[in-house]
Structure 1
Amino acid sequence: MKITSIEIKQYLLPLDPPFKAAWDPEPRKNFATTIVYVHTDEGITGIGSGDLMIGFEGHEHLFIGQDPFAIERHAQIIDNIDFHYGRCWPLDLALWDLMGKATGQPVYKLLGGRSNKLLAYASTGEIVSPEERAERALCFVEQGFRAMKIRFHHKDVRDDIKVVETVRKAVGDKLDIMVDANQGWKMPWDVERTWDLKMAYQVARELEQLNVFWLEEPLPAYQFELMAKLREMVGIRIAGGEMNRRYHDFMEMNKLHALDVYQPDVALAGGITQVKKIADLVQGHGAWFSPHTWTNGIGLLANLHLAAAVSHCPYLEFPYDPPAWTLERRDYIQKERLMINADGYLVVPEKPGLGIELDEESLKRYEIHHVYVGENKKVYI
C-alpha cells in the first residue's frame, strides 16, 4: 500500500448567535474546520481533522508514494514542519484512521485497548451568571454526566468563585467539578495580565474548600517550576499542558513533577503518535493523562481513542455547553453527533479506524477551500 494523494478541505460554519468563549475576548461568529484526506492505491482513505494545517503546503511530496504504516517516519516529518511552520497533526490522525481501516480494527485497539469507554465531563465554554451556570449543571445531572468543568474569566476572580459555590450548592455531590482558569495561553489580541503564583495559590485554596476535582492552567504554560511549586503548596490537583506543543516540554514538566493531570491534544500537539508517548511518560511517573479535546467532533473522537486505549484518568473532556455550544455546532460535519450514554460514558466506535462518518450535505454547504495533491499534480478549487 502507498499514499497516492492528499486532500485538504476547509469549511466554515456561521455562528448565529455568536459563541462567546470565555478564553476569547472577541465573540466567535464562525467555526472553521479543516479535514485532511489521505488516499491510497488500494482505495482506502484516512480522515483527520483538528487544526488548520498551516505550513503543510509544499511538503506533500514527503508523504506521497510512502507506506502509510511508516507512522514514526511520518510523525517525525510532521514534527519538523511543526517546528518550522505550523501544527499539521490532523495528518497523523488521518494516517491512524487509514491504518485502522486497512486492518479492520478501531484505532483504540491498535493503541492498547485498555477500555472501550470513558466517563465524560461536560466542558463548558461560556461565562454566565452563577444562577444560569447552576441551571445548566442540573441539566447535566439529568443527562447522566458525573462531572463538569467551569471556565473562569470574570474581571474579579471572586465572581468566578461565586459561580463554583452556586453550582456546588445546586448539585451537591452529584457532580465532580473541574475549574479551568485559562491562564496558560492567550489569543493574539488578549493583553490582560495573567495570574501570578500567589493569586493561583489563593484561588486554589478557595477551590479546595469547594471540593473541586482539579484546577486547570492556573499559570502560564511555560512556568514549569512555578506550577511544580503550586502543586506542592496545595491539595487540589493541578492540570495543564493543552497548548504545549513540543515533547521536550512534557519531559521537563514530568521531571519537575509540575502537574497531576497532563492534557496534550492529539489534534494540536503531537498527533496520536507523539501524544501516546507523552501519556506513557507521565503515567509512568504517577500522573494522569486526560487530553484537551476542544477542536471539533473528529478531534474529540481521536482523543477518545487514545485516552480509552491508555489513560488511567477517570474522565475525558467533552466540549458541551448548550445552548451556546451544542452537539450540532461541534459535530456539524459528521452524520452522528457524539454523546454520552445513560451512565455518563462516552463509548468508542467499534468501526474500523476512528469511526468517522461525514455528513456530505454539510460538507457541500460549508466548504470554502480545497487543495488536492497527487503524484503528478496539484489542484486548487
Structure 2
Amino acid sequence: MKITSIEIKQYAMPLDPPFKAAWDPAPRKKFATTLVFVHTDEGITGVGSGDLMFGFQGHEHLFIGQDPFDIERHNKVLDNIDFHYGRCWPLDLALWDLMGKATGKPVAELVGGKQKKLYAYASNGEIVSPEVRAERAQRFIEEGYKAMKIRFHHDDVRDDIKVIEEVRKAVGNKIEIMVDANQGWKMPWDVERTWDLKKAYQVSKELEQLNVFWLEEPLPHEQFDEMKRLREMSGIRIAGGEMNRRWHDFREMANRGSLDVYQPDVALSGGITGVKKIAEYVQANGAWFSPHTWSNGIGVLANLHLAAGVSDCPYLEFPYDPPTWTIDRRDYIQKEKLSVDADGFVHVPQKPGLGIELDEEALKKYEINSAYVGEKQ
C-alpha cells in the first residue's frame, strides 16, 4: 500500500447565537474545521482533523509514495515540520484512521486496547453566573455525567470561586468538579498578568475545601519547577500540559514530578504516535494521562481512542456546555455524533479506524477551501 495523495479541506459553520468562550475576548461567530484525507493506491482513505495544517504546503512530497504503516518515520517528519512551521498533527490522525481501516480494527485496539469506554466529564467553555452554572450542573447529573469541569476567567478570582461554591451548594457531592484556571497559555491578544505560585497556592487551598478533583493550568506551561512546588504544597491534583508541544517538555515535567495529570492533545501535540509515548512515560512515573480534547468532534474521537487504549485515568474530557456549545455544534461535520450514555460513559466506536462517518451534506454546505496534492484516484 502506498500514499498517492493528500487532500486538505476547510469548513466553517456560522454560530448563531455566538459561543462566548472563556478564553476569547469576543464571542465566536463561526466554528472552523480542517479535514485531512490521506488516499492510497488500494482505495482506502484515512481522515484526520485538528489544527489548521499551517506549514504543511510544500512538504507533501515527503509522504507521497510512502507506506502509510511507516508511522514512526511519518511522525518524525511531522515533528520536524512542527519545529520549523506549524502543528500538522491531523495527518498523523489520518494515518492511524487509515491503518485501522486497513486492518479492520478500531485505533484503540491497535494502540493498546485497555478499555472500551471511559467516564466523560462535561467540559464547560463559558463564563456564566454562579446560579446558571449550578443549574447546568444539575442538568449534567440528570444526563448521567459523573464529573464536570468549570473554567475560571472572571476579573476577580473570588468571583470564580463563588461559582464553585454555588455548584457545591446546589448539588453537593453528586458530581466531581475539575477547575481550569486558564493560566497555562495565552491567546495572541492576551497580555494580562498570569498567576504566580503564591496566588495559585491560595486558590488551590480554597478549592481543596470545596472538594475539587483537580486544578488545571494554574501556572504558565513552562514553569516546571513552580508546578512541582505547587503540587507538593497542594492537597488536590494539579493538571496541565495541554499546549506543551514538544516531547522533551513532558519528559522534563515527568522527571521533576511537575503534575499529577498530563493533558497533551493528539490533534495538537504529537499526534497519536507521539502522545502515546508521552502517556506511557508519565504513567510509568506515577501520573495520569487524560488528554485535552477541545479541537472538534474528530479530535475528541482521536483522543478517546488513545485514552481508552492506554490511559489509567477514569475520565475523558467531553466538550459540552449547552445551550451554546452542543454536541451538534462540536460534531457538525460528522453524521454520527459522539454522545454519553445514561451512566456517564463515552464509548469507543467499534468500527475500523477512528470510527468517523462524515456528513456529506454538511461538508458541501460549509466547505470554504481545499487543496489536493498528488495523483487523484
TM-score (norm. length: structure 1)? 0.98
Q: Report the Cα distance in structure 1 between the residues aligned to 2:187 and 2:24, rounded to whole angstroms.
A: 6
- Following the alignment from structure 1 to structure 2, what is the Cα–Cα distance between the partners of residues 56 and 26? 29
**Can you give the 5+ residue segments of structure 2 that lack an aligned partner in the other structure?**
none
Aligned residues: 377
- Measure how far apart 1:25 and its partner are: 1.3
- TM-fit CA distance, 1:23: 1.1
- Cross-structure match for 1:365: 365
CA distance in 2, matches of 1:255, 1:27: 39
Structure 2 counterpart of 1:230: 230
- Distance in 2 (CA, whole Å) between partners of 1:271 and 1:278 is 11
CA offsets 1:19-67 (integer angstroms, 9 cap, x no match): 1110111211111100000000000000000110000000000000000
Residue pair 2:149, 2:177 contacting (<8 A) in 1 also: yes
1:296 aligned residue: 296
Partner of 1:73: 73
Q: For residue 112 of structure 1, what is the aligned residue in structure 2?
A: 112
The answer to whether 1:273 aligns with 2:253 is: no
Alignment check: 8 A CA contact 2:51 2:89 kept: yes
Deviations 1:335-366 (A, max 9, x none): 01111111110000000000000000000000
Distance 2:262 2:212 in 1: 17
Taking the TM superposition and a 5 Å limit, the aligned residue runs for 1:101-250 are: 101-250=101-250
For 1:269, the aligned partner's letter is: S
* 1:221-276 CA-partner distances (Å, limit 9, x unpaired): 00110000000111110000000000000011011100000000000000000000
Q: Are the counterparts in 2 of residues 10 and 32 from structure 1 also a CA contact under 8 Å?
A: yes
CA distance in 1, matches of 2:162, 2:86: 39
Question: Partners of 1:325 and 1:337 in 2: how far apart?
Answer: 14
Deviations 1:177-205 (A, max 9, x none): 00000000011011111101110000000
Q: Percent identity?
A: 79
- Work out the CA distance in 2 between the residues paired with 1:109 and 1:343: 23
The code of the aligned residue for 1:217 comes to E
1:305 correspondence with 2:302: no
Question: Over residues 91-149 of structure 1, what are the superposed CA-to-partner deviations in whole Å (9 max), with x where a residue is unaligned?
Answer: 00000000000000000000110000000000000000000000000000000000000
Q: Secondary structure at the match of 2:101?
A: helix
Q: Give the CA deviation at 1:376.
A: 8.9
What letter is aligned with 1:38? Answer: V
Q: CA RMSD in A?
A: 0.9
How many Å separate the matches in 2 of 1:84 and 1:376?
29
Structure 1 unaligned spans of 5+: none
Q: Is the 8 A contact 1:65 1:375 kept in 2?
A: no
The aligned amino acid for 1:355 is G
Please identify, of 154-163 and 19-28, the stretch whose mean Cα deviation from structure 2 is larger. 19-28
Alignment-mate amino acid for residue 187 of structure 1: M
AA aligned to 1:191 is V
For the 8 Å contact 1:120–1:145, the answer to whether it is kept is yes
What's the TM-score, normalizing by structure 2? 0.99
**Matched residue of 2:328: which SS?**
helix
Match of 2:323 in 1: 323
Question: Residue 351 of structure 2 aligns to which amino acid in structure 1?
Answer: K
Residue 10 of structure 1 pairs with residue 10 of structure 2: yes
CA distance in 1, matches of 2:35, 2:376: 22
Q: Which runs of 4+ in 1 moved over 6 A?
A: none
For residues 325-344 of structure 1, the aligned pairs below 5 Å read 325-344=325-344
Shift in Å, 1:367: 0.3
Tell me which moved more, 303-312 or 366-375. Answer: 366-375
SS of the counterpart of 2:206?
helix
Contact 1:64 1:375 in 2 (8 A): no
Written as runs of structure 1 = structure 2, the 5 A alignment for 1:244-259 is 244-259=244-259
State the AA in 1 paired with 2:127: I
The Cα of 1:170 is off from its aligned counterpart by 1.0
